[in-house]
Amino acid sequence: MALAMDKLGGQILCSSSREALMYQSTHFHSATPVAMSLIADTVNNAALLPEEIDAQREAARYELREVSSKPEMIIPEILHDVAYSGRGLGNPLLCPEERIDLIDGQAMRAYMKEWYKPERIVIAGAGMPHERARRTRRQVFLIHELSLLLYTPLAKAELQRAKNQLKSSLVMALESRAIEVEDLGRQILVHNRKIPVSEMCERIDEVDAERIHRVAQRIFGPKSGNKATVVCMGKEDVKDWRAELTKYGLGGGA
C-alpha cells in the first residue's frame, strides 16, 4: 500500500486516539479513487500477517517504554485512568505490557469485526467536492456494503435514518414540475394510476430489516442464481471482480 501511494506522490498513515482510529491519506486530486480504494482494502481485507504483528508488538513495547519515561506523556494517561475509573475514556491509550503478547491475528480480526461497521465509520475529505467524495466512497465500499446487507443485522436507527432520507429526497424531488410530470407518466405506465406522496411514504415506513434481508438474498444472495454485470472503463483497477464477489458471499461470483 505504501509503495502504491509513493508512486502517486502521496502519503498514507494510520493513527489512534482514545475516541477513534484514523486512516489518512494526503495526495493529488487525481489519486483520490486509488487512495480510498487502498484504505477500503485495508479496512475490509487486512492480511494481518504474523511477521507484521510481531513487528508491531516490538514497536508497542518501545513506545510504552518511551512514554513511561516522559512525565509530560505518562501523566495524562494516569489522569484519564483515575478520572474515569478505568472505563470509557479511562481505558489506556497504550496497550499494557502484560497484554502485548495476547495480540494476534485472531484477536485483531475479532476486534475489527466488532468495531469496523458502517455505522461507526466516517469518511471525511478536505479540498474536494462533497458529491465527488460520496461517489468515490460508494464505488470502493459497494461490494462490502452489499455483503453487510446479506450477513449483518441491520440496526434499527440506521434503517430509520435511511427511510427518513428517502422520504425527504422524494418530497423535495417532486417540487420540480418536470420531475413531477415524468413521475406521473411512469406511474400511469406501471401502476395505471397516480400514487399519492402520502402513500409512497407509508410504503417506505412499512419497510423493515427482515424485508430488506429477504430482497437482498433474492437479488444478489449466493443462491439467487443471478449473475453480476460489471461495466468499467479501463482494466487497471478492476482486479478479479468474480473472486471479490465470491469472497464476500455474493451471487454472480462463480
Q: Phi/psi at 63 (nearest 5 deg)?
A: -65, -40
Confidence of residue 235 (pLDDT cuts 50, 70, 90): low
When mean pLDDT is compared across 1-15, 199-213, 235-249, the lowest value belongs to: 235-249
Domain spans in the chain, listed from the N-terminal domain onward: 153-209, 221-254
Is 143 within 8 Å of 92 (Cβ atoms)? Answer: no
Query: pTM above the 0.85 mark?
Result: no
Kindly report the average pLDDT of the chain as a whole number: 83
Q: Which residues contact 24 (CB under 8 A, 6 or more apart)?
A: 12, 13, 14, 15
**pLDDT score for 236:** 57
The answer, yes or no, to whether residue 254 has pLDDT greater than 60, is no
> Residue 79, exposed/middle/buried by CB under 10 A (0-12, 13-18, 19+)?
exposed
The model's pLDDT over 184-194, given as tens digits with 9 standing for 90+, comes to 888 998 889 99
- Which pairs from 160-165 meet CB under 8 Å and 24+ separation? 163/204, 163/205, 163/207
The answer, yes or no, to whether residue 75 has pLDDT greater than 50, is yes
C-alpha cell at 116: 469496523
C-alpha span between 45 and 244 (Å, rounded): 10
C-alpha cell at 64: 510504552
The model's pLDDT over 166-220, given as tens digits with 9 standing for 90+, comes to 999 888 888 888 888 888 888 998 889 999 999 999 999 999 989 998 988 888 8
Q: For residue 127, is it left (φ>0), alpha (ψ between -120 and 50) or beta?
A: left
